Chain A
């Protein structure tokens, strides 16, 4: 933690960055909130521990944050992957952001170019944790009727608050399909059809792009396991198309490219 504060102070003092986006203690013991550090003195408020799960890269594309000047961002693996995915999607320019990568031991690495982030990520473990695998497998082992019952029950709690969208660093479209009302694709009301459609759309639009930060699940006030949908599609796009978003600058968006010999077994 001290190393992080020290590094943040240094970056602000020598004017390398104008703002450090990090975490500060939240409203209770279990929460952390985002903190925008703009003076070297404020750097001592920064923390980094188990509570710091929000993906701070979400702020990088906001016009009001861009207006603050060059930012540094406190980053775990998911946040670093987000930055590379932004690069692939032409949303960030190289060296526009400094990443303060913090690993499990509190070691801080300052990464100021995309290729440095790429090299750093190459050393990080990839793939799902055994718990994540199990959570997916538990649903996949159900019969179709059970799966439908499970998800109908889960999605019936959806309030259509779009907190998942707000928390997601890759849901950055200026005009989301939910706002399109001529025609109204996704019903405004939180009804079973609209809830299903919204969650399918969200998952589909993130297929092959999701960096598995889990911010959507964290943000959901109803604790619907929506991250499972993203994780499933991350696994499928990896198996079918070799998509590994956020690990490489050269990787293209899996659903925007194709191979003539893509394999499927259901088209008649």
Chain B
């Protein structure tokens, strides 16, 4: 009895509350992460829908990370790093750019909604750009709605559960 009341309450909340996009951002350590940090230290208010994941470089952002994010329930994915020419490792973002060009074409051909992936260059000085970009992208994803058609990754056993 009590249980069904909880479920009912949860359903009611889900039905009445507006859709809140879940967005995963893969950013590079040197530019965009620092840029997002600057957004915070500059006290700029922006959408809270984004979970930022820091990687060493855009060159490290394997396309499989993007698939995994969608497979685990992200409605949108942001990928951001240093502007061309500014890479901490000289050329990581140039390599990443080539990969993104090819990857995006492939996803589009497969019918994956590429509007749900936002690629950008945000430098460590562009705190305001990061805030604008996130706000803008959240708005776009809100308009697109939840990404229900993308298949979910099946739950995996945690290492501790595997004997």
Contact = CB atoms under 8 A, between A and B. Distances in A.
Given A255-B95, A264-B97, A148 B111 contact: yes
Contact of A266 (B98, B119, B152): B119
Nearest to A156: B151
Contacts of B97: 258, 262, 264, 267
Interface string A156-189: 0000000000000000000001000000110101
B163 to A, nearest CB: 15
A201 B64 contact: yes
B109 to A, nearest CB: 5
A148 B67 contact: no
Contacts, number: 115
Contacts of B71: 193, 197
A200 B95 contact: no
A192 B100 contact: no
Give the size range of A's interface with the partner.
35 or more
Interface string A203-240: 11001100000000000000000001100110011001
Contact of A264 (B68, B101, B113): B101
Contact of A139 (B102, B103, B109, B119): B109
Given A142-B111, A147-B109, A236-B102, 11 more contacts: A148-B113, A192-B151, A193-B153, A200-B110, A201-B64, A204-B102, A229-B106, A237-B102, A255-B98, A266-B114, A267-B100
Interface of A is mostly: helix
Interface residues of B, number: 39
B128 interface: no
B100 A196 contact: no
B119 A268 contact: yes
Contacts of B120: 267-268
A73 B62 CA distance: 36
Nearest to B113: A144
A50 B109 CA distance: 31
Contacts of A139: 109
A53 B89 CA distance: 44
B67 A184 contact: no
21 contacts: A147-B109, A147-B110, A147-B111, A148-B113, A151-B110, A184-B156, A187-B156, A193-B71, A197-B64, A203-B106, A204-B99, A208-B102, A229-B109, A232-B109, A237-B102, A240-B102, A258-B98, A260-B85, A264-B97, A266-B100, A268-B120
Interface of B: 63-64, 67-68, 71, 84-85, 91, 94-95, 97-114, 118-121, 133, 149, 151-154, 156
Interface of B is mostly: helix
A198 to B, nearest CB: 10
A204 B102 CA distance: 8
A32 to B, nearest CB: 32
Contacts of A194: 153-154
A98 B67 CA distance: 42
By Cβ-Cβ distance, the 10 closest A-B pairs, closest first, are A148-B111, A147-B111, A192-B151, A258-B94, A193-B151, A268-B120, A267-B119, A193-B71, A236-B105, A193-B153
A237 B102 CA distance: 7
Contacts of B118: 268
A28 interface: no
